[in-house]
Each structure stands twice: as structure tokens, then as C-alpha cells.
Structure 1
């Protein structure tokens, strides 16, 4: 074996061991491309504050080890807007406060499963559970285009969803890191997903390392209920019907 082939073999073995023996950590930056939908019953000032907050890039992290992956968001900064006061009686004033509090997104993909498990918590109605779904694409088309992200060659696959087949989402994955993992449910491709371009947002990896610890990979709580597919969608409809959109506080003088 000549010197070049020896160096190539050592490089391949070393690279392969890095991503099989250690724990992968990927930092993503998500940019929303559309304004949030107009909420009824809230003030124009609150809507403008929400729009400005949503335009700020948001951090997400993916942790991967031993076939399991865990994806989470860093919540945006909360804020409260006073939308006016109204006197209920001579001792009570109602303060209408509009509250924005971003929820932390947590998505789990256990080893050997195609389904992902999203964590949902609603303290106001005392509900806590997981929703399990599988990625269902109406079209998957692999392209010849490539780009470089953080020194990794990424290939392109275009996908669309059954509920809106005309909208194309571009998914960039790298076979240099041959694991099926990525943001949200984009984790069924032959390599780590480093960028997702949808009509609603762009999510791009900005740092890839082996700095993850086993403690970073949260585990699914076996004590919480799990709702799967149609059962999950019915549950979410029920949750929306039970929750109010605006927080009101009564403060006695």
C-alpha cells in the first residue's frame, strides 16, 4: 500500500470513529420568513411587538448519540403588554395584559424508529403529553445540486407535504456524516440534515461538533401519555378549544 492510500485509509477510519464513538452536537439558526398570523382579540401594539420578536433569528440544538436524537429550541424572550384598564367596581380594576411566552420545542427520535415524539405542556389546563407522528411526504425528489455548509458537502432533496403539495421544501443533507438526523421530522435522509428551506422559514446549521454530553440527550418520560397520528391531531384540536388566547388579570386596589 502506497503512502497516499495509507493516509486516505487513516483519514477515513479516523473520521468514521469521530461520529460513531462520540456524541454529536449541532447548533442551528432559524429565520422565519413570514409574519405571524393576525390574532383576534389582541391589540395592534401587541401584534407589532410579536412580529418584531418573531423576525429575530432563533437558536436550535440537535444532540445525537448511539442512534438516539434530541432536538430543542431556545425560547424567544417573553414580554407583556398592557392593553388597557377597566374598572369592574369601586374596589376592583381589570388589567388586560397580553402575554407572549415562547414555548421550548422538544422533539425526540428514538433509535430504530421513523416516528418522532414532540413534547407538549399546557400548565394552564394541566395537560402534559407526547405527540407521535411520522414524516409523510407526497413527493421526494433527489437533485444533483450541492452546497458547502461548515466545510461539509451537502446534497439536495426537494420534498412536499400532502396537505400542500405545490409548496416545495429544500432539504440539504451531508453524507459526510452518515446518520439520519436533523431538525423536526427531517431525519429520514441518508445523512445529517444541515439546512432546511421552506416557504415559512430557513433553518441552517452554524456549528457542528462532538461537544455533546449524554446528559444533553433528554429521554422520553414513560409516565406521560403518548398520542399517535390521528389520535394526536384530535388531542391538539381539543387543546385549542380549551385554551384562551389572551391572559387577563384582576387586581384589587
Structure 2
């Protein structure tokens, strides 16, 4: 069962210009099964339901980030989530606080190009936004299932020769392609915009808007990293599912790609 995890909070002082990536990266591509971002303490403390709520697509492999401006990105980076029910957004904070009971926050302090001291959370929780009722117990919730990614990126203006298919779970690309016709892409509205991305000071051509009910899947940073292991430790990894009513269900990894309701696991142990 899950045990509290003690992690020393470290602070590193360094010069940091702008977070970036060492290579071209794929953002959200129409047809992807999910939109991925991160949930941090800063996000939870600054939610304002009276203002627009938006998510920024963030690739999950933080070790790929370096201190240079991104030369090329492919896909769409902004998701307007203002139409999400307040109860569902509030549940994100509840789940984040629950995760912090067994995975302590790790911070890094740095001085930006203006000379200001900044603080960055290094292990925020992962958030995967899926269509409502996504069959995550049948299909891996961390795969994109998008066999037309090359065509879709070309339609957005990217050079398809520069991009590659990068899946979150290592060596699962064939499964993602094989089952792509069984899993619908995330149903969201795509529109043109003239917003300027504050990170790279470049205008974003497109943005996305949630118009249908969605399910939110949240997993702790350490748990997500363990999924990449050849033998992911069963009964140690928890996945949180939040539906449109704000109801939270916890699932425990009890086998290969097998998620079991945590309450059922507890009931079985008591028998």
C-alpha cells in the first residue's frame, strides 16, 4: 500500500533565462486522446472562477528542459478550461493536497534574467484531460492513440519531416497506433487566436476550448516516473479520476495496465 514518501526540499541558486527544450517538441495535436499539463501549488492557490481558466500544454519529461528558448514547437499549446464545472476544478486542489501527503514538494530557487529571485516547483502533479467516460481500464490513459499525427501537424503548418511521435510510456508506440481506431481523440473546439506566448514571446496561431464534459486524470510525479520502468511496482501507484460532478475516485495499479478501485482493494484486504 502507499506509504508517506519523505523527500528533502532542496534549493539551488542559478541563473535561468527561460525554460525551454533541447529539441523540437510536440504539443497537443488534433486527434490526441488527451491534453497534458501540470498541477502545482501555485496553480491551486491562484484559481479564480471569475476569470478565464486556461491550461498550457507541458511535455511530461522535465529532464528534457534546458535554459534556452524553444526553437521549434509543433501543435497547440493553450486550452481554455473556463467551461469546466467549478466542482471539477475545486477537486483538482483536493487531489493535489492528497498527493502532498505522500510526496513532498521539491522546489528550486533561481535568479531570472531581471535579477529577481524565483521559485519553481520541480515535482508538480501530472494532469491528463480525457473525454468523459474514457475507457482507461481498457486502454492506457497515457498514450495518445493518434495515428494521423503527421497529417494533423502538417495541417497546422509544421514540417512533418521535423517532428516525431513521442509517447509518454516508453516503447508503447505500436500499441498506440494499433488501437488508434478504437480510441476517439479529445473532443475540443479549435480556433485561431492572436495571443502571445509569454515564455517565448511568440504569437500562438491556435487555441483549444473545452466544450464537452471531460474526465481529469491526476497522478503524482514520482508515480508517473515509475510507470516508465520495465516492471512498474504494482500496488504502489495511484491514479485519481475526477468526473464533471467533481467526484474523485482513486485507482491502484494492481497489474499490467490494470487499475482497480482503491476502495475495492481495501475491502478485499478486510475480508
**Is the structural similarity TM-score above 0.5?**
no
Q: Which has the higher strand share?
A: 1
Larger radius of gyration: 1
TM-score, structure 2 as length reference: 0.25
